[in-house]
Amino acid sequence: MTEKERGDTKSPRVEHIVATLEERIRTGEYPGGRWLPTERELCSEFDVSRATVRQALVALERSSLVIRSAGCRPFIKMDAGQTAGRNGAASRSEAARRTIGLCVKHDPKYSGTYQIAQGVRKALKTDAFRLLIGGSSAVTLREVAEEEARTLLQMVRDEDISGIVLWYCGGDANLSVLQAVQEANIPLVFVDRAPENGIEADYVGIDNGRAAREAVQYLLDRGHRRIAHVTKPEPVSAVYDRMTGYSEALEGAGIPLDRDLILTGRLEGMAEAGLNAPEIVDRLLGMPDPPTALFAVTDYIALAIVRALQERGKRVPQDIAVVGFDDLEQWFPQRPFLTTVRQPFERIGFEAANLILKRLQGGPANRSRHVLLEPTLIVRDSA
């Protein structure tokens, strides 16, 4: 801090803001383990510039009352009441519990988001944090995006929310909502789906492009040259990246991309299992040169395709090999059948929660951190 900045923190306006906020922390009006109001709110309340508010926040940080880190709203330390030198506030501060929000699409048949929640829980200290799970259980993509937006905005308004783990579904439709989360200085970690363009946020997932390349390469190594890909219309990075990985694997093998072999499943109902698999299979089998293998963007699509093939008397993998993505069958009661890419969902949730905890503890000041975990190709009976 320069001499001028040090002098500015002693200005009457800065001292008034510091004294007022200190008093609120001392009395428990602003308890430990909670956010301070946003800079915008403080500017409005005290009728000062943002630069003046920031000088006051620097002074509070130097007094060990708050924690500040890049991209995060100032956070009141759990022992801030004691640090302020008063009795009475400490017990309330120590008893305060913070909340981490998890925003996902709810699907009772999809175990991935449940495992992510389990990972988040394992990373949180239950005596200091609680987990609030919200999101969408809607049917159409539009309704999913609308419910996701409502959930995120409710979390922004909840003063007890310390951070948000987000399994994002909204695409471009919810960009303004993501911006609202960031303007509130709430730490935001994307899981499985990378942040949208223009959104600076932490992310935990896998390299979907590389994982898809490895899955398709496995089929190539088995001698397949006509490999179809079934994707879905959801506007998220995981879908796009798996398509890219499929294309790159074919290109690396010197096989021209055949757009007729790329089909998009129409999602019907809340689960992908309701897609139009029979139509897709009929279209593939009706080609003059049908594919001998298929890579699906998710396991639910792959399993629906397998059922439709078997209903038409086709053998998997003898007539057509099928590879999925996610390894959801590991949680099914029956013996797993599908060759697939396994995502470490629980570890993804664990690492996402840890990124939030590091933000709250005043961790690295870089704007965003991306953590890529290792996927695993699980070879079973379908390919």
> Tell me: the pLDDT tens digits for 312-322?
999 999 999 99
What pairing do the DSSP bridges indicate for beta strands 321-326 and 293-296? parallel
| Distance between start and end Cα atoms, the chain | 62
| Mean pLDDT of the 242-263 span | 97
| Mean pLDDT of the 184-188 span | 88
Lowest mean pLDDT among 56-60, 85-89, 178-182, 269-273: 85-89
> Tell me: the pLDDT tens digits for 124-169?
876 778 888 888 777 778 888 889 999 999 998 888 898 999 999 8
> Tell me: the pLDDT tens digits for 192-226?
999 988 888 999 999 999 999 999 999 999 999 99
Q: CA dist 339 to 48, 99, 296, 331, Å?
A: 61, 38, 11, 15
Check residue 273 and give its pLDDT.
41
> Tell me: the pLDDT tens digits for 74-110?
777 755 554 444 333 333 333 356 889 999 887 655 6
Distance of CA 100 to the CA centre of its chain: 13
- The pTM is what? 0.73
Check residue 268 and give its pLDDT.
47
> Tell me: the pLDDT tens digits for 257-298?
999 999 998 654 434 444 688 999 999 999 999 999 999 999
| Mean pLDDT of the 10-24 span | 85
Domains, the chain, with CATH or none: 3-93 (1.10.10.10), 96-205+345-375 (3.40.50.2300), 208-343 (3.40.50.2300)
Q: State how far the Cα of 117 lies from the Cα of 250, in Å rounded to an integer.
A: 36
Distance of CA 38 to the CA centre of its chain: 24
| Mean pLDDT of the 237-261 span | 96
pLDDT exceeds 50 at position 9: no
Check residue 271 and give its pLDDT.
43
> Tell me: the pLDDT tens digits for 351-379?
999 999 988 877 655 678 899 999 999 99
Angle of CA points 174, 245, 249, to nearest 5° = 165
Angle of CA points 206, 358, 155, to nearest 5° = 80
Q: Which residue has the higher pLDDT, 86 or 300?
A: 300
pLDDT band of residue 325 (cuts 50, 70, 90) is: very high
Q: State how far the Cα of 289 lies from the Cα of 155, in Å rounded to an integer.
A: 52
* Alpha helical stretches, state H, the chain: 3-8, 12-27, 39-46, 50-62, 80-83, 89-95, 112-123, 141-157, 175-183, 208-221, 237-252, 277-285, 299-311, 345-360
Check residue 12 and give its pLDDT.
82
Q: What percent of the chain has pLDDT above 90?
A: 46
231: left (phi over 0), alpha (psi -120 to 50) or beta: beta
Q: CA dist 109 to 114, 136, 257, 270, 381, Å?
A: 10, 14, 33, 9, 22
